[in-house]
A = this chain, B = another copy of it.
């Protein structure tokens, strides 16, 4: 792991577990979000012989995001709404040790923007943590499934929901919240791991005391943010319904006790209704894990006009940039830029397009002396605000779901490369005036999506990226967006799933396809690996859905439905149907 030399923590049990490649205890593989495994029993030479070893139906349909966890001889599997949790016995090909089925009001479903997904469980100290769709956070006894404590993090009646996983850090669990399409003012909250008591809450938007910013000490691009850094960038009370949701992935650097995550779109999608930079939406935050205080913040897409939520994972690696080894944070933003920052200082080192189709901005201004330093240089013909309300801006790349959405990338220390599941999709975007009603959609734009024009015709690529230089090393075209999380291993291979349902393994150096298997349904889950009794297994959840698969998942037909995704992904129904299955792979005996 990237942090093998890290100092001991008050509670470093999870850190220790993540250093054992035989287990898979965090959704993200490790705190650094590398999604890389040191296992190499399955490798580039033999992966072509991989077989489905055993399978498990979750009993739930629709989008299955996240992955199972493996702790010791037990596998923990979650489902989309109603968020069932299974403990499966690995000594017995998935016999069910216990099952936990929360009772949730199904009225939460219509206020989930992008399918009934859940990005999975967390584990720490004999407890399994579930953050339900209805925002209830539950700690279960890992042995029995018994509820140890539960706490309510939000109110679905106001459009507050949850899809994200939980990050256990020290003696706390960190949880985010969704609702950017419902005018929720979102936050990150730390609860005490043993009692469920709230320890701190940091809003993305609002007064300094709400966002846990110190005007003097919190920096942005190396400078103190100053007083009211958020409030100053909003008109009137608009910030109170300003979005900036925290539904992505969270990272943690135990050396500095810093938590990293991004915030989502400012509400509404109609930019004319919210003049200003709309800080701190679309922002990477570095916060102290104990107090929540922000160390630094970097807003990638000021005054968003495209719904380019900044929530994608922050991958923490140490690499040489310009001849100097640095503590990096690498982030593939929805807006199409791959960012490399110094994770200690927040200094911006690299910002380059990781999909050549990206056209809404020419580049990110890297000139430290420029007044627009660190900002994307927007191409006015792709500004959805420029034309005003009710004007359709066409041919914007990427589409609202970004050059990459929540599907997490992996990083291989062996190759020094990042493996990134990407979208190759563009859009037309027509903003309109919308008024706010609690619990009602507060979107204010009509979208349609389509494959990037003048390209290979497909809607995705799976790429290898060099974050030191900001360069694509290789790129495999895919017919649909790659909506599944990657896994790289010391076997010299990278796994990912496709929306048609294929699990694929490719050579980490060249991208050459070495294996594929058609799982029951489209894959939007993340590939994980573990060993059991000395044998390496690879697991992945199938179950088409998420924003890209919302047409299938929710049975929508109108091409503009599903926030514009239905039309673009309509062809998916020729490849797969709803599902909810785990497939576990291994080499033949």
A518 vs B580: C-alpha distance in the bound complex, in angstroms? 15
Tell me if B518 and A93 are in contact (CB < 8 A).
yes
Tell me if B61 and A61 are in contact (CB < 8 A).
yes
Q: Of the candidates B86, B520, B543, B588, which one forms a contact with A577 in the assembled complex, judged by CB atoms under 8 Å apart?
A: B86
Which residues on B sit within 8 Å (CB–CB) of A384? none
- Beta-carbon contacts of A550-589 to B below 8 Å, as 1s and 0s? 0000000000000000000000011111111111000010
Using CB atoms, name the residue of chain B closest to A520. B57
Q: Known contacts A51-B51, A581-B581, A588-B49: does B518 contact A576 (CB below 8 Å)?
A: no
The answer, yes or no, to whether A230 is at the interface (CB within 8 Å) is no
Which residues on B sit within 8 Å (CB–CB) of A93? 518
Tell which of A1-9, A94-102, A206-214 binds the partner. A94-102
Which residues on B sit within 8 Å (CB–CB) of A501? 55, 57
Tell me if A57 and B576 are in contact (CB < 8 A).
yes
Copies in the complex: 2
From residue 535 to 556 of chain A, which have CB atoms closer than 8 A to chain B?
542-543
The answer, yes or no, to whether A54 is at the interface (CB within 8 Å) is yes
Specify which of A521, A575, A580 lies most central, judged by the most chain B CB atoms within 10 Å of its CB: A580
The answer, yes or no, to whether A204 is at the interface (CB within 8 Å) is no
Which residues on B sit within 8 Å (CB–CB) of A578? 57, 59
A62 CB to closest chain B CB, in angstroms?
Answer: 10
Interface size on A, residues (CB 8 A): 36
- Beta-carbon contacts of A12-53 to B below 8 Å, as 1s and 0s? 000000000000000000000000000000000000010110
Which residues on B sit within 8 Å (CB–CB) of A99? 573, 577
Tell me if A518 and B51 are in contact (CB < 8 A).
no
The answer, yes or no, to whether A517 is at the interface (CB within 8 Å) is yes
The answer, yes or no, to whether A56 is at the interface (CB within 8 Å) is yes
The answer, yes or no, to whether A519 is at the interface (CB within 8 Å) is yes
Tell me if A96 and B55 are in contact (CB < 8 A).
no
Tell me if B542 and A57 are in contact (CB < 8 A).
yes
The answer, yes or no, to whether A83 is at the interface (CB within 8 Å) is no
A576 vs B58: C-alpha distance in the bound complex, in angstroms? 9
Using CB atoms, name the residue of chain B closest to A519. B55
A382 vs B58: C-alpha distance in the bound complex, in angstroms? 41
Using CB atoms, name the residue of chain B closest to A518. B54
Which residues on B sit within 8 Å (CB–CB) of A517? 52, 54
Tell me if A95 and B577 are in contact (CB < 8 A).
no
Tell me if A573 and B96 are in contact (CB < 8 A).
yes
Which residues on B sit within 8 Å (CB–CB) of A574? 95-96
A47 CB to closest chain B CB, in angstroms?
Answer: 14
Q: Known contacts A95-B574, A574-B95: does B521 contact A57 (CB below 8 Å)?
A: yes
Q: Known contacts A51-B51, A57-B542, A588-B49: does B581 contact A518 (CB below 8 Å)?
A: no
A543 CB to closest chain B CB, in angstroms?
Answer: 8
- Beta-carbon contacts of A404-427 to B below 8 Å, as 1s and 0s? 000000000000000000000000
Q: Of the candidates B52, B59, B575, B579, which one forms a contact with A52 in the assembled complex, judged by CB atoms under 8 Å apart?
A: B52
Using CB atoms, name the residue of chain B closest to A572. B96
Tell me if A58 and B581 are in contact (CB < 8 A).
no
Q: Of the candidates B520, B543, B573, which one forms a contact with A55 in the assembled complex, judged by CB atoms under 8 Å apart?
A: B520
Which residues on B sit within 8 Å (CB–CB) of A56? 518, 520, 577
A480 CB to closest chain B CB, in angstroms?
Answer: 13
Tell me if B51 and A581 are in contact (CB < 8 A).
no
A181 vs B149: C-alpha distance in the bound complex, in angstroms? 46
A147 CB to closest chain B CB, in angstroms?
Answer: 19
Q: Of the candidates B58, B59, B94, B575, which one forms a contact with A96 in the assembled complex, judged by CB atoms under 8 Å apart?
A: B575
A267 vs B59: C-alpha distance in the bound complex, in angstroms? 34
6 A–B contacts from the bound complex (CB under 8 Å): A54-B518, A57-B521, A57-B543, A59-B61, A61-B61, A95-B574
Closest 3 CB pairs of A and B: A57-B579, A59-B577, A57-B520
Given contacts A49-B588, A56-B518, A581-B581, 16 further A-B contacts (CB under 8 A): A51-B52, A51-B588, A52-B517, A54-B517, A54-B518, A55-B519, A55-B583, A57-B501, A57-B520, A61-B61, A94-B518, A96-B574, A96-B575, A96-B576, A520-B520, A579-B580
